[in-house]
Amino acid sequence: MRSNILVTAVALAGMTGFAALAQAPVSAPPASPLPASGARPGHTPGVGVSLPRSNKASNIRPRDTRAVAPTLPAPAIGADATVRTYLRAARTALVAGRTGEAQQALEMAETRALDRSVPQGGTGVPSGSGLVARIGAARQALGAGDRSQALHRIDTAIATKSAG
């Protein structure tokens, strides 16, 4: 009887060992250096989700700019939103303490505000739009960590007639 228990215990231990060997090993991502694009190996920039991710505003001012900017959460509005809608989303996110989302919404508002017609060869001329300047000032205040000033600048940009 005792030998049957011993044989059963040894058999179970052996089967457990084989099951453990059959498990797929968990491996860490390769520690290879980033390619010239700054993207992680195997990732095409601009396609799919990119790493690193962050919920905090960053890469706004030269002192906090990194080689690879983190992916920020997008505001919960459609891609075809107006400048004013992006600005309101930025304000809502900032009031809630979601600085990364606020930054992303401000950047999207600024991009939308930059949509303009220019003469051929004039694409290198900076926009003279007061709205673009106000949005840029809000981003700079956010980058400086001055939430109240960022909110004030966002409110000023929302009140601008061309923010439509």
Tell me, yes or no, if the pTM score tops 0.85.
no
Average pLDDT score over the chain? 73
Mean pLDDT of 24-36: 49
pLDDT recorded at residue 78 = 78
pLDDT digits (tens, 9 = 90+) for 122-132: 777 777 788 99
Domain regions of the chain by residue span: 78-116+128-163
For the domain covering 78-116+128-163, report its CATH number. 1.20.120
CA dist., res. 135 & res. 140, Å (int): 9
pLDDT recorded at residue 31 = 47
pLDDT recorded at residue 94 = 94
pLDDT recorded at residue 89 = 95
